[in-house]
Amino acid sequence: MEIPMFTVDAFTNLPFKGNPAAVCLIENELPEELYQKIAAEMNLSETAFVRKLKSTDYFCSGSRFGLRWFTPTNEIALCGHATMASAAVLFYRKENSNPEVVFETLSGQLRVRQHGESLVMDFPLNKPEVQDLNKFNKLLKAAVGDLPVQEVCYCKTTKKLLVRLADTCQRSALTSLSPVPETLLKTENSGRVKSVIITIKGAPNSQPGYDFFSRNFAPWNGIPEDPVTGSAHTVLAAYWSEKLGKKKMLAYQCSRRGGELELELRDDARVDISGRAVVIIQGTLKL
């Protein structure tokens, strides 16, 4: 069996920045255990599998495909950067002739369209609910140490815990965080939390005018830190839109690699997440 495989850096226009994802193009469903083995071998935060839905479809001309995402340890229900990476492969390497492609996923239909040099993903908006800080004392201590926390919210749909640091915290406080994955796992083992998003308010009046900053830690999915996370921004967009009174926002995820996301909330409880992507590796898996 030969499977076309690509590595794509998403949410960036520069190689070795943003968030890398592996993308595999498959003709039919694989044996279930093989998905996980390939993802573990790729050892990136996510590996995406783009599958033809009909034997008559072609990656260069089809408009609808199946899509699944796997971390090195498990399958997940929603992944932004690997969706963008999948669309980048179809548009940039397969020269797909459609203005938009639709992926059928565990999170429903996800549409991705080209807009200039960017790719725009149509994603569900996931609003988090405010929580009592005392319920997460140990996890907060493990994640942010003694930094002041202004608010904690939880999104049941995505199992993401959003931690907003006090507005007195500078961006440097966020970038200097280094939570220990094993400590996070030890302090939260109920299965309720699958990632911790830490965020601070930005400075939209400065250049380039980021509305907020964030980082995302997900050792529960085998990812100590996810460099740039589209799914986290379905939660962040809902939270910060309400706090800032804005429907259009510019966000930056402050991992070592870093990445920029443009967000626009729509009236149908969905959000457009825009960014750029660079295909840096193309090859073949021979199994």
Measured distance between the N- and C-terminal CA atoms of the chain, rounded to whole angstroms: 5
Q: Which residues are designated catalytic?
A: 46
pLDDT band at 165 (very low <50, low <70, confident <90, very high): very high
Q: Is the pLDDT of residue 90 over 80?
A: yes
State percent of the chain over pLDDT 70: 100
Contacts of 31 (CB under 8 A, 6+ apart): none
pLDDT in tens, 97-116: 999 999 999 999 999 999 99
In the chain, where does DSSP find H-type helix? 32-42, 80-88, 137-144, 171-175, 181-187, 230-244
pLDDT band at 167 (very low <50, low <70, confident <90, very high): very high
Q: What pLDDT is recorded for position 204?
A: 76
pLDDT in tens, 241-259: 999 999 999 999 999 999 9
CA angle 141, 145, 148 (to 5 degrees): 95
Residue type, 168: T
pLDDT in tens, 259-282: 999 999 999 999 999 999 999 999
Among residues 161, 147, 154, 106, the alpha carbon closest in space to that of 129 is found at 154
Q: Is the pLDDT of residue 205 over 90?
A: no
Q: What pLDDT is recorded for position 281?
A: 98
CA angle 55, 56, 62 (to 5 degrees): 105
pLDDT in tens, 24-55: 999 999 999 999 999 999 999 999 999 999 88
Q: What pLDDT is recorded for position 207?
A: 74
Q: Is the pLDDT of residue 150 over 80?
A: yes
The answer to whether residues 80 and 45 touch, using CB atoms and an 8 Å cutoff, is no
Which tokens is 66 given?
Answer: 């199946």
Give the chain's domains with CATH numbers: 2-122+274-286 (3.10.310.10), 129-265 (3.10.310.10)
Please state the separation of Cα 278 from the chain's center in Å. Answer: 16
Q: What pLDDT is recorded for position 206?
A: 76
pTM equals 0.95
Q: What pLDDT is recorded for position 55?
A: 84
Q: Is the pLDDT of residue 237 over 90?
A: yes
Q: Is the pLDDT of residue 185 over 90?
A: yes
